[in-house]
Each structure stands twice: as structure tokens, then as C-alpha cells.
Amino acid sequence: MSLNVLVVDDSAVMRAIITKTLRISGLPIGEVYQASNGLEGLSMLKDQWIDLALIDINMPEMNGIEMIEAMRQNEDTASLPILVVSTESSETTIKELWKKGVEFVHKPFAPEVLREAVIRATGVTIDEESESGTLSDSSNSF
């Protein structure tokens, strides 16, 4: 099983960095879809099977917080794991995101930080005893 990921960020360069970081993370990443704002991201969620959304906060047309609120109000995406990747520094905003069950990573980030946040958000990791790169539920680890 691999994770299909949606990366929502208004910077094409940042979307490419996040995508490359995911690909080299060691986690089994499937398709990586990209959107440049929250409206495009919501549209992608209707059209594609997504296991994890990585969302920036500060974007035009619809920002990340508005997108997250729309996702949480839609029964199809209400429980989708979300990881915010942003330069946001407001502790109040970050705490509000955590209350919504959202993981948070500051930009710029080290690849290991993003990998660990993906593991926390999805609850899965690589089964290190298997060379096939399959996912296992980390809650069953010893």
C-alpha cells in the first residue's frame, strides 16, 4: 500500500521541494497531486483518492485554514490526515490547528522532520523487516 498525497502551496518551487522530500523519505509514496490554492485543493479532493494532504496556510483565493475548515465540514474529507507546512509563527494559530487534529511543520524543514510528521499524521511507517516497502500501522509496533 502506498500513500497518495495532495500538496497544496502557492509556490511551485515549494511544491516541488515537498514532493521530492516525500519521494526520498523512505515512505511508500504513491501519486503526488499538486494544487496552488485551497480551491484547487478541494477540487482535487473530489477527483482523486488522497490519503494525506499537506497544506500551506498563506495562499491566494482560499487560504489553508479555510481549506481545512471546508475539509472538516465535508463528511468525505472530515477525517483525512492533514499536515500543515508553513512559515506561520503564531502560536495561537498553530494551537488551533492542533485542536483540529492537524500536524504542523515549519518551513524551512529538514527532510527527517517532514518524514516524522507524515508518520504521526497517518499512523503508518515502513515495515523495516520487509524489503518490499509495505506500510504497517505504527500503533502495532513493539
Q: What is the pTM of this model?
A: 0.86
> Shortest CA distance to 26 belongs to which of 53, 57, 2, 56?
2
Name the domain count of the chain. 1
- For 66-88, what is each residue's pLDDT tens digit? 999 999 999 999 999 999 999 98
Q: What is the per-residue pLDDT for 39?
A: 97
Domain at 56, CATH number: 3.40.50.2300
Burial 42-78 (b: 16+ CB within 10 A, else e): bebbeeeebbbbbbbbebeebbbbbbbebbbeeeebe
CA-CA distance, 65 to 56, in Å (whole number)? 9
User: Domain range spanning residue 110?
Assistant: 3-140
Residue 128 has pLDDT above 70, yes or no: no
Question: Cell numbers at residue 91, please?
Answer: 502560536
- For 11-46, what is each residue's pLDDT tens digit? 999 999 999 999 999 998 999 999 999 999 999 999
